[in-house]
Chain A
Amino acid sequence: MTTSLLKYPSQAVAKPYFIAAIGLFVGQILFGLIMGLQYVIGDFLFPEIPFNVARMVHTNLLIVWLLFGFMGAAYYLVPEEAERELHSPKLALALFWIFLVAGALTIVGYLSVPYATLAKLTGNDILPTMGREFLEQPTITKVGIVIVALGFLYNIGLTILSGRKTVINVVMLTGLVGLAVMFLFSFYNPENLVLDKYFWWWVVHLWVEGVWELILGSILAYVLIKTTGVDREVIDKWLYVIIAAALITGIIGTGHHYYFIGTPEYWQWLGSIFSSLEPIPFFMMTIFAFNMVNKRRKQHANKATVLWAMGTAVMAFLGAGVWGFLHTLAPVNYYTHGTQITAAHGHMAFYGAYAMIVLTIISYAMPKLRGIGTAMNNRAQVVEMWSFWLMTVSMVFITLFLTAAGILQVWLQRYQPNPLPFMAAQDQVALFYWMREVAGVVFTIGLILYIVSFFVKGNPQEANS
């Protein structure tokens, strides 16, 4: 800990964001385990924590920790790319606490009072936005999110616009602005369910298969520049091509959610054609990452980061590209719509693309933010890499078990000559839910190991570079 390892001291505000992200990630997984048990022991923790409450906590914590991760990533990489200090580190720190407290209060609200009471207490009558999947937050929390997003964009935007405008920074900013703009559709909740659903996807789909891909692409590009030393020109060109493919396929690709919700039939064609091209940008990310690592000009000391970056590229393609394609054609989706197949895909895609890219940038930035060096000591890296494999492999198994459960569910409940009612079909596939829960426990062990890796001390003999 001699001179700072950060090029710009203001990058340091990223650190609390990353710590909060990891903390909330732990909470997310605990509630995942609770739900996994409720799937097989139906009355587990009932009526104290009904399934729907656990689910809100699980998915909302996921979204919030990813947002903390994205913001931390922006605060870390934007100043370095712009070659200037962050416009206002004080604002960044204030927004951190506002976001954390608002998020914590919301989760406490979910857990401590019935949802209907929470709706009443927070004045859902004035502007009803609650009670829709992923958008369960009280309206005032949503307003809070918008305020934090505005302050954040102002801070990041001013930094970028008055500094060196690299492709990474501009793409990152576009993605973050898109994230905030699409979120505004969460305030539109018409009485007509079909319209509600139509625009609900403008938040959910246009996030994960639209603007978030810009954020993903730019963080990946940044980490690859830093760890491989490959020429920026080459990386910039790749980044443009990837995000071009993402938006060209992903925007009309929204149509894969408009097959059976009351929208016109032509979406079955449009959705099928465009969304089956959506794997392309994810595939390009895989090629991109492997290519850059093969062409590397230096061996970076942080091997764990390189592993996370490659892992992201592979798992995002598997989860989003392969498992997305599996059920995206309208005739297939007719049978798989709203089954465990969807859950299988949702898990691998969210983990592979967005959880892993946040873990990648944390792995890269944390040793510097903590004043340790460009990398953790070898022993710590080995533990981190173990946690990578435990979490990633168990996520593959979670996906496989849910896919098996989903295929059986489709057969039993929707396809065979004498289809079973929902609850009867669920009983038949319970074995796979048990196996998913076991894989979930292994995932949790991986996560614990991940946290342990931050505290592993190096071998005293090991030379510090």
Chain B
Amino acid sequence: MPELFTKTMARNIYLGGSVFFILVFLALTFDTTARLPKRDHRENITEQVALGKKVWEENNCIGCHTLLGEGAYFAPELGNVYQRFGQSKDAIKAFIQSRPVEGIPGRRSMPQFNLSEEELDAVAEFLKWTSEIDTNNWPPNING
């Protein structure tokens, strides 16, 4: 082994291999971004959906929930909550609005965020848009 496989060869595999796969990854990224519009339905990203994403972020909902399977595992998946709540934005809004300030004794609790009507509408609209992304059939069932 000592001289058959030299340090220079090892270095060249590292450099060549990395550069090659970086280029492949960039090409795949280019291809993916070209295909995405059909899957993410970006034509439906209204100003309201964009505001909803901002409300989602500025209240750190991801710190308890998963969204499309990513985030925290403390509270229900919300990528399909629009379906789970019978395709009702009002039900989503009502749920968020009705969280008790002091939580629910003994139960994992969600804060009362005191969102305005506009913010509530926006977040519900954002969750509806998210539920329509083509996720290759994930999650496996309605429970997320």
Task: Give the interface of A toward B (CB within 8 A).
Answer: 35, 38-39, 41-43, 46-47, 50-53, 55-56, 115-116, 119-120, 124, 128, 130-133, 136, 167, 189, 191-198, 233, 236-237, 240-241, 243-244, 247-248, 251-252, 254, 257-265, 267-268, 270, 334-335, 337-340, 342-343, 413-415, 419-423, 425-426
Chain A positions within 8 Å of B69 at CB level = 260-261, 337-338
Question: For residue B62, which residues in chain A have a CB less than 8 angstroms away from its CB?
Answer: 52, 131-133
- Residues of chain A within 8 A (CB-CB) of B33 are 195, 198
Q: From residue B139, how far is it (CB to closest CB) to chain A in Å?
A: 7
B138 at the A/B interface (Cβ < 8 Å)? yes
Residues of A within 8 A of B35 (CB): 264
Query: Of A42, A52, A241, A414, which one neighbours B13 at CB under 8 angstroms?
Result: A241
**Is B134 a contact partner of A47 (Cβ separation < 8 A)?**
no
Indicate the member of B14, B104, B133 with the most A CB atoms within 10 Å: B14
Q: By the criterion CB–CB under 8 Å, are A197 and B24 in contact?
A: no
Q: In the complex, which of the residues A124, A167, A194, A237 has the most CB atoms of chain B within 10 Å of its own CB atom? A: A194
Q: 15 A-B residue contacts at CB 8 Å? A: A39-B108, A42-B106, A43-B105, A51-B74, A119-B57, A131-B57, A191-B50, A193-B53, A236-B7, A237-B6, A240-B14, A241-B13, A414-B141, A415-B140, A421-B76
**B94 at the A interface (CB under 8 A):** no
- The residues of B that contact A263 with a CB separation of less than 8 Å are 32, 36, 39
Indicate whether A133 sits within 8 Å of B39 (C-beta atoms), given known contacts A247-B14, A270-B28. Answer: no
A415 to B140, CA, bound (A): 8
Question: B29-58 interface mask toward A, CB cutoff 8 Å, 1 = contact, 0 = none?
Answer: 101110110011010010001100110111
Which B residues have a C-beta under 8 Å from some C-beta of A?
5-7, 10-11, 13-14, 17-18, 21-22, 24-25, 28-29, 31-33, 35-36, 39-40, 42, 45, 49-50, 53-54, 56-64, 66-77, 101-109, 111-113, 130, 133-136, 138-141, 143-144
Known contacts A43-B104, A47-B111, A136-B63; A262 and B68 CB within 8 A of each other: yes
Report chain A residues within 8 Å CB of B77: 338, 422
Considering the chains assembled together, what is the distance between the CA atoms of A39 and B106 in angstroms? 10
Q: Give the distance in Å from the alpha carbon of A426 to the alpha carbon of B40 in the complex.
A: 31
* Cα distance, A270 to B31, chains bound together (Å): 14
Residues of A within 8 A of B74 (CB): 35, 38-39, 51-52, 55
| A247/B21 in contact, CB under 8 A | yes
- Asked, given contacts A42-B104, A236-B7, A244-B14, whether A194 binds B39 with beta carbons under 8 Å apart, the answer is yes
